[in-house]
Structure 1
Amino acid sequence: MTTDLILVADDDSDIRDLLTVTLESAGFRAVAAKDGHTAARILTVAKPAGLITDIQMPAVDGLELCRHARLDPAGRTMAIVVMSANTHAYAAEAGLDAGADRYLAKPLSPGRLVAEMRELLATR
């Protein structure tokens, strides 16, 4: 059981809700953001241990959010997972180049997401 705070950023409310409930059921604390602007503000204030973000969001996308997170000293050790419905290899490469630790394709397996986040946090 963990009490690490994980930020979930996705413009799709159904996915946001599913991931938040999944993380909380696994023992994490979770906070959700409906867009990249809101997520960037939460990153600055809350300093979460992990970030799960969709790549494709309006205005501030997940790639920009990853780069923003990594600029903050607290964000340099943050566990970051990017996700996208885009299954092209360049989406994964772009996410990793932006600072993400893992790329997961949508639709996500909730169990795999939890396992990935636990693994990333254990190595921090």
Structure 2
Amino acid sequence: MSTDLILVAEDDSDIRDLLTVTLESAGFRTVAAKDGHTAARILTVAQPAGLITDIQMPAVNGLELCRRARLDPAGRAMAIVVMSANTHAYDADAGLNAGADRYLAKPLSPRRLVAEMRDLLAAR
């Protein structure tokens, strides 16, 4: 069981709740943000081990959030997963170019999300 802190940045409250429940059920601690601006503030204070972010969010999008996380020395080792309902190759490439470790298309498989985060954290 992991005790790593994961930041979930998602503007859809139902998806945000599903992600936090899924991760907490797998033993992770979570903190959630309803937009990229709030998530950026949390990144500087909480210094989570992982970040799961939607690409399309108000104020600060998930790609900018990834870039900001990677600029911080503490964020360079962070496990980052970006997700989007868009399944275009461009979105996956943009996420990886912004500093994400993985791109997942919505709807997400809870089992796959947990497996991806565990793999990324183990590789740190």
Give the TM bin, normalised by the shorter chain: over 0.9
Unaligned 5+ residue runs, structure 1?
none
The residue that corresponds to 1:58 in the other structure is: 58
The residue that corresponds to 2:4 in the other structure is: 4
* SS of residue paired to 2:56: coil
* SS of residue paired to 1:77: coil
Q: Distance in 2 between matches of 1:107 and 1:64?
A: 22
The residue that corresponds to 1:79 in the other structure is: 79
The residue that corresponds to 2:114 in the other structure is: 114
Q: Distance in 2 between matches of 1:63 and 1:17?
A: 21
* SS of residue paired to 1:30: strand
1:58, distance to aligned residue in structure 2 (A): 1.2
Identity of aligned residues (%): 90
* SS of residue paired to 2:108: coil
Q: Distance in 2 between matches of 1:27 and 1:85?
A: 26
What is the total number of aligned residue pairs between the two structures?
124
* SS of residue paired to 1:58: coil
Which TM-score applies when normalising by structure 1? 0.99
Q: Distance in 2 between matches of 1:70 and 1:115?
A: 22
1:59, distance to aligned residue in structure 2 (A): 1.6
What is the root-mean-square deviation of aligned Cα atoms in Å? 0.3
Letter in 2 for 1:88: H
Q: Distance in 1 between matches of 2:21 and 2:31?
A: 10
Q: Which runs of 4+ in 1 moved over 3 A?
A: none
